[in-house]
Amino acid sequence: MKRGRVPRHIGFIPDGNRRWAAERGLNKEEGYSCGIEAGFQLFELCAQRGIEEISIYGFTQDNTKRPTIQKCAFTQACVDFAQGLSARGAALLAVGDGASRQFPPELRSYLQRTGEGPRVNLLVNYGWEWDLGGLRTGEIKSKDVSRLDLIVRWGGGRRLSGFLPVQSVYADFFVVDDYWPDFCPRHFESALSWFAVQDQTLGG
Amino acid sequence: MKRGRVPRHIGFIPDGNRRWAAERGLNKEEGYSCGIEAGFQLFELCAQRGIEEISIYGFTQDNTKRPTIQKCAFTQACVDFAQGLSARGAALLAVGDGASRQFPPELRSYLQRTGEGPRVNLLVNYGWEWDLGGLRTGEIKSKDVSRLDLIVRWGGGRRLSGFLPVQSVYADFFVVDDYWPDFCPRHFESALSWFAVQDQTLGG
């Protein structure tokens, strides 16, 4: 199974927005909105390639401890992104603690999957402890998110940062050094080409 | 915190034993025993560098579905490795399902931490589902294993393969393309040098 392996479900960690802004002399919070169009482009690429499901890191419960101006900026970026995805025909699911005041009210309707198109899971006010805590009374909170085959992270960091720990257990991890707002299609093509030649053993 | 950052707890995934053996015309199961001395060398290096805790992937519940001759070989390698670590003064903890017949009886005494030296957690008949399943009635089964700062994997694979998902959430991930039995100290030094210059944000 060395050649032609195609991921069914890809996770995306669009990191580096603040560093991108700072390098341009912008305020850190100005980086987030600059990633939205990139996200739509990535969604369209996935749809064209027949990727069945994608999961995207929006923001975490930990992120909401950042300065208010940043919190407002990334929350608004997530709302705009989610609404744009929905308008583009995504079957959207918001994965995160919807009972908290940090969860944007505009996205409450996406706490159940909406639509029939390509599946997109957007992590909004997500926390890995919140997610696993579901096991105390039943299943993980992200039980409607399937196992990941591939995770792509922008911004050079080689860590998961709490991204869907259960679904990530066997995922291949590809890192793009460029910051997320500098997204271009060749990042995505490089990740798919690399994935196609990885061995898949699943511990067997 | 860009310079001089030192990991407190490192995870090691010593992969590539079977590929190493196959490339030498040996039977696959002959690869495991060839990694034991490398493991002792790595332990001594960590002790010299003052690393407080290390976790090492021995074998998983999934691995025990492999052919019997392989299962016997990696189980014996784990037993020999654990006993050698203990003799070298490690405070050893075996992390895995000790109630199963796949768990080697020689290692039962290590299901509670033994000794006062550098902490070594050896994953023996480990499974991530087994581990997280502890949440259903209390804490994760690996609750005595602390959060990982750095994970080093040999054999080129860029995935966790179920390695301690809770402790890995913020760990930096370093990959060595060489197979584990070809371990040499510069692999370890490269990982530490790389780690020292990674940003640490923990989502804040």
| Gyration radius of chain B over CA positions | 16
**Residue B7, SS3 per DSSP:** coil
DSSP assigned state of A192: H
What is the reported pTM?
A: 0.94
Select the residue of B136, B162, B173 nearest A158 (Cβ to Cβ). Answer: B173
| Mutation site, A2, A123, A148, A159, interface B, largest B CB count within 10 A | A159
Chain A residues with beta carbon closer than 8 angstroms to that of B161: 169-170, 201, 203
Identify which of B63, B162, B204 has the shortest CB distance to residue A65. B204
What is the H or E stretch that residue A113 is in?
Answer: none
The CA distance from A75 to A64, in Å, is 9
- Of the pLDDT bands very low, low, confident and very high (cuts 50, 70, 90), residue B200 is low
Distance CA A199, CA A62 (A): 34
A93 CB-near residues (< 8 Å, 6+ apart): A110, A111, A112, A113, A114, A119, A120, A121, A122, A144, A145
- Predicted local confidence at residue B148, as pLDDT: 98
What domains can be seen in chain A, in order of their start residue? Answer: 9-195 (3.40.1180.10)
Mutation target among A132, A169, A195 for the B interface, most CBs of B within 10 A: A169
Q: What is the DSSP letter of A104?
A: -
* B68 to B65, B79, B83, B122, B126: CA distances (angstroms): 8, 16, 22, 21, 18
- Which residue in this structure is represented by tokens 């020689």? B106
Q: How many of the other CB atoms lie within 10 Å of CB of B106?
A: 14
Residues of A in contact with B63 (CB under 8 A): 203
Q: With an 8 Å Cβ cutoff, are A202 and B165 in contact?
A: no
Chain B interface includes A157 (CB < 8 A): yes
Mean pLDDT within A70-85: 96
Output the pLDDT for position A108.
Answer: 97
Interface of B with A in 67-126 (CB under 8 A): none
Residue A203 has pLDDT above 70, yes or no: no
Beta pairing, strands A119-126 & A91-95: parallel
Residue A1's pLDDT is 40
For residue A170, list chain B residues with Cβ-Cβ distance below 8 A: 159-162
- Do B166 and A202 lie within an 8 Å CB cutoff? no
Distance from CA of B89 to the nearest CA of A (A): 31
pLDDT at position B201 is 63
Q: What is the pLDDT of residues B23-53, one digit of tens each?
A: 999 999 898 888 999 999 999 999 999 999 9
Which pLDDT score, from 0 to 100, does residue B2 have?
44
- The mean per-residue pLDDT over the stretch A124-148 comes to 98
Cβ–Cβ below 8 Å for A161 and B203: yes
Above 50 in pLDDT, residue B173? Answer: yes
Residue A145 has pLDDT above 50, yes or no: yes
B115 band by pLDDT with thresholds 50, 70 and 90: confident
